[in-house]
A and B are shown apart, each in its own frame.
Chain A
Amino acid sequence: MHRVKGLGNLVKVFDFSEMKTQGFIGIILHAHLPFVRHPEYDHFFEESWLFEAITECYIPLIKTFDRLEKDQVNFRLTLSLSPTLISMLCDELLQERYVCYLKKQIELAEKEINRTRKDKQLHSLASWYLGLFLDTQKIYQDQYQRDLLSAFKKHYSSGNLELITCAATHGFLPLLNVNQASIRNQIHLGVEVFKKYFGFAPSGFWLPECGYYPGLEKNLEQAGIKYFFSDTHGVLHASQSPVNGVYAPLDCGNGITVFARDPESSRQVWSSQEGYPGDFDYREYYSDIGFDLDLDYIAPYILDGETRTNTGIKYHRVTGKQPKQIYQPVKAVEKAQIHARDFIDKRQQQISRLSEFMDRQPIIISPYDAELFGHWWFEGPIWLEYVLRFFDEPGSTVKTVSCSDYLRQFEHHQVAIPSASTWGDEGYSSYWINETNDWIYPLLHHAGADMEKLAEDFSQFVPQHSILERALNQAARSLLLAQASDWAFIIKSGTTTEYAKKRVVDHLARFNYLHESIRKNEINERTLVALEILDDIFPDIDFREYVVKAEKSVSALKKERFSP
């Protein structure tokens, strides 16, 4: 008998004899949120996307990694951090606003303890929430001094995490490639932002929405990337049949490798019908006191005191029928443990079968949106913790690895070009271009072409740090922010559509304003400053990267350009 470390000694497992590793699993979490930051308002509802994710996802994941490290559990996990998320996590305004948000959560939890004093179950839960929020505050403020990126970097340094990145503003590349410079800059700038904050270049790249088309690997190669991910059918429908299916990477012909998503492990976590998160014992996402309690009572903690929103305090479990029953955290943790064990068993069986007839040890690629863990699936981080602990048990035949680890072990791979694909509904681009959002693309393409022309016309003689250079850089920021795949996605999904539409229109309007100002040589510095404050992202952006047919490299242009 063997006790798994930590988790209050809840877990008892059998200790199998030491066995040779038969295969590997690569768990990839893609963490991304669109850039939402509104200094022009005191409070802005959509900023709470970040705040909720910090409380429910990023800090719980950090707590998981910290506990695993403390218990000396050997694990490898890949975390993709999008450049917009990186930028928001280290933005002082958003950090300050998150601290205020957390204080309100704590205040509400205290109020709830009083309100629920006559109901033992709810009272106990309210106290539990208060403890959770206080702990979150302690980790955010005291342990990491508001710098969550340092937590991820710490686990990178200790060898637990492989950190990779994504396109600059999560642009949906298959529909942006009318403008080659837009593709190049989404990738290049993404890598540069990552390097600035972490101090090293990422080996891997998460294509937004797993959106791949043949040829994209060349852009990735130019950015120094070694590998990326595609959805299952991207590899299954490759130019050559993949002899190892999706259980070994393909070489795209230029040395860049592609790893494909394993459908079975994906479905176990993702599927709304058969996935773990829908278990009746888990917390119900849609039951929140922001919607359930009297408006007068909850008003100070919701949007503008009138519009009902999530508060993060949820008292019910999924249940499966009405009325919803009260959430029991201990029971939910036990279920997470059972589900983790189930996941491990299935992966070991899967690897065992695969390894019989593969010419190398198979790797199962299991990528998930990080925000699924904790935000949508409240128990996700604890499930992940159990999974990583179980994989490190003596006798486990499957080991967690990063794709870089795998590539170091196996140097030669079958050469084939994946097929165009995404991980979205229907597997292609239809979620991002359809009757609800198709109006975006002509506008983005025209702005992309205008940006290329601006770069071509001005790149060689714009003085460094001049107002003109700042205006050109700001135009590039506006274009990039308009290109985020999130806006098309939200418009299609029908949630906060007005906000998403406004973001596209606002950024393109700002681009148009700057374009006209630059062309007319009538740049109003005060207005420019306002735009720089409004869209304060990518401080080191260089509009010259948008030059399409530069004979010389951008670095050469920088050296040659006039400095006053």
Chain B
Amino acid sequence: MQYWQSKFSSNLKVSQQELLEVSTEISHKYSPEVAPEIPELVLLPVDPFHLYAYWNIEKAGGQTIMDHDSLILRIYWQSDISKQFMGKKQWLDYAISSYSHRKKLQVPYENTLYSGAIGKPQAQKGFLGCVYSNLVHTPRSGLDTKKSNRREVLIENIDGQKKHRTHSNTEACFNPNSPVDAEKKVKEREGMAQLFNHETVKLPDFEFDKNASGQGIG
């Protein structure tokens, strides 16, 4: 039987068997669970057009102030581009079917600040929230919809033909010089083929979560 000496308590030795027993017992009894003491809604940026949200509102009084069916996850954005939508809604609503869950959300704008809230829609565009999220910022992508679409940068081509040139923001991320997995990126973005032929850039077609109401820019 092998014994291990404590580095801090010179009189204490623990056997290999005891190490295994402690490890097993703690794993069994203290397995982590998502049970926050206070209600929460947390957003995490995944990529330019996706967020991850997780929430737990069971202790927020969700069961008393609203029914399951009427719970809404509302995602707000704050972006220069949204100026063109002045006076229009700047959020998306997602139906919530559980008091505690996590969900990947598609969002409309890259390089944009987002926040969220869970609650119940009220009359005249009102919203009764019971929990609010942190603020997150989505990364820039090749789809820069906020600035000029032409940027002066140095891009090194393998064939060396193009030197200091003006190039489209949109090609930068997915151009043939992109890193290692460029092929994979290109393949996965085939639906954005316009990126490669310098055509006008459009926002990607949304395939919002089927529970989303899609009224954000309506």
Contact of A261 among B16, B29, B179 (CB under 8 A): B179
CB distance from A179 to the nearest CB of B (A): 11
Q: Is the CB of B14 within 8 A of A419?
A: no
Residue-wise interface mask of B (156-199) relative to A, using a CB-CB cutoff of 8 A (1 in contact, 0 not): 10101001100001001100011111111100100000000000
Q: Is A373 an interface residue (CB 8 A)?
A: no
Q: Which residue of A lies closest to B33 (CB)?
A: A443
Q: Is the CB of A354 within 8 A of B154?
A: yes
CB distance from A521 to the nearest CB of B (A): 17
A245-B155 CB under 8 A given contacts A174-B45, A233-B173, A442-B54: yes
Of A375-383, A525-533, A556-564, the segment with at least 4 beta carbons within 8 Å of chain B is A525-533
A425-470 interface (Cβ within 8 A of B): 425-430, 433-435, 438-439, 441-443, 445-447, 465, 470
Q: Is B139 an interface residue (CB 8 A)?
A: yes
C-alpha spacing A445/B43, complex, angstroms: 12
CB distance from A196 to the nearest CB of B (A): 15
Contact of A236 among B54, B56, B153 (CB under 8 A): B153
Q: Is A541 an interface residue (CB 8 A)?
A: no
Q: Is the CB of A509 within 8 A of B179?
A: no
CB distance from B135 to the nearest CB of A (A): 11
Q: Is the CB of B156 within 8 A of A353?
A: yes
Q: Is the CB of B4 within 8 A of A39?
A: yes
Q: Is A280 an interface residue (CB 8 A)?
A: no
Q: Is the CB of B178 within 8 A of A421?
A: no
CB distance from B161 to the nearest CB of A (A): 10
Q: Is the CB of B164 within 8 A of A357?
A: yes
Q: Is B120 an interface residue (CB 8 A)?
A: no
Q: Is the CB of A445 within 8 A of B42?
A: yes
How big is the B interface, by class? 35 or more
Q: Is A423 an interface residue (CB 8 A)?
A: yes
CB distance from B119 to the nearest CB of A (A): 20
Contacts of B32 in A (CB 8 A): 443, 446-447, 505, 508-509, 511-512
C-alpha spacing A349/B144, complex, angstroms: 32
Residue from the set A426, A427, A429 with the largest chain B CB neighbour count within 10 Å: A427
Of A115-123, A264-272, A305-313, A323-331, the segment with at least 4 beta carbons within 8 Å of chain B is A264-272
Contacts of B7 in A (CB 8 A): 532, 536, 539
C-alpha spacing A298/B155, complex, angstroms: 53
Q: Is the CB of A266 within 8 A of B180?
A: yes
Contact of B154 among A358, A423, A443 (CB under 8 A): A358
Q: Is the CB of B178 within 8 A of A233?
A: yes
Q: Which residue of B lies closest to A527 (CB)?
A: B22
Contacts of B179 in A (CB 8 A): 231-232, 261, 263, 266-267, 270, 423, 427
A438-B52 CB under 8 A given contacts A247-B156, A358-B154: yes
Contacts of A534 in B (CB 8 A): 19, 22-23
Q: Is the CB of A509 within 8 A of B30?
A: yes
C-alpha spacing A243/B26, complex, angstroms: 55
Q: Is A510 an interface residue (CB 8 A)?
A: yes
Q: Is the CB of B54 within 8 A of A267?
A: no
Contacts of B111 in A (CB 8 A): 419
Contacts of B14 in A (CB 8 A): 526, 529-530, 533
Contacts of B56 in A (CB 8 A): 442
Contacts of B47 in A (CB 8 A): 426-430
Residue-wise interface mask of B (12-38) relative to A, using a CB-CB cutoff of 8 A (1 in contact, 0 not): 101010111011001101111010100
Q: Is B152 an interface residue (CB 8 A)?
A: yes
Q: Is the CB of B4 within 8 A of A270?
A: no
C-alpha spacing A534/B27, complex, angstroms: 13
How big is the A interface, by class? 35 or more
Contacts of A267 in B (CB 8 A): 179-180, 182
Contacts of B34 in A (CB 8 A): 442-443, 446
A419-B139 CB under 8 A given contacts A349-B160, A357-B164, A509-B32: yes
C-alpha spacing A258/B153, complex, angstroms: 17
C-alpha spacing A505/B180, complex, angstroms: 33
Q: Is the CB of B9 within 8 A of A426?
A: no
Residue from the set B22, B142, B163 with the largest chain A CB neighbour count within 10 Å: B22
Contact of A465 among B8, B16, B142 (CB under 8 A): B8
Q: Is B82 an interface residue (CB 8 A)?
A: no
C-alpha spacing A548/B96, complex, angstroms: 33
C-alpha spacing A445/B55, complex, angstroms: 12
Contacts of A158 in B (CB 8 A): none
Residue-wise interface mask of B (109-120) relative to A, using a CB-CB cutoff of 8 A (1 in contact, 0 not): 001000000000
B122-147 interface (Cβ within 8 A of A): 134, 137-142, 144
Q: Is the CB of B44 within 8 A of A530?
A: no
A320-351 interface (Cβ within 8 A of B): 349-350
Q: Is B102 an interface residue (CB 8 A)?
A: yes
Contact of A532 among B8, B36, B137, B184 (CB under 8 A): B8
B34-72 interface (Cβ within 8 A of A): 34, 36, 42, 44-48, 50, 52, 54, 56
A271-B180 CB under 8 A given contacts A39-B16, A237-B139, A237-B140: yes
Residue-wise interface mask of A (483-522) relative to B, using a CB-CB cutoff of 8 A (1 in contact, 0 not): 0000000000000000000100110111111001000000
C-alpha spacing A367/B53, complex, angstroms: 33
Contacts of A511 in B (CB 8 A): 32
C-alpha spacing A236/B172, complex, angstroms: 7
C-alpha spacing A238/B183, complex, angstroms: 23
Q: Is A99 an interface residue (CB 8 A)?
A: no
C-alpha spacing A465/B6, complex, angstroms: 13
Q: Is B151 an interface residue (CB 8 A)?
A: yes
Contacts of B52 in A (CB 8 A): 433, 438, 441
C-alpha spacing A485/B138, complex, angstroms: 20
Q: Is the CB of A264 within 8 A of B158?
A: yes
C-alpha spacing A333/B197, complex, angstroms: 42
Instruction: Beyond the given A430-B47, A530-B22, A531-B22, please list 14 additional residue pairs across the A-B interface where CB-CB is below 8 A.
Output: A174-B45, A232-B179, A233-B172, A241-B152, A247-B156, A262-B156, A264-B158, A438-B54, A439-B102, A445-B42, A506-B26, A508-B32, A509-B27, A534-B19
Contact sample, A vs B, 8 pairs, CB 8 Å cutoff: A40-B19, A174-B45, A353-B160, A358-B154, A428-B48, A430-B46, A438-B54, A530-B18
Closest 10 CB pairs of A and B: A245-B154, A420-B139, A428-B47, A40-B19, A270-B180, A508-B32, A237-B140, A530-B22, A512-B30, A509-B30
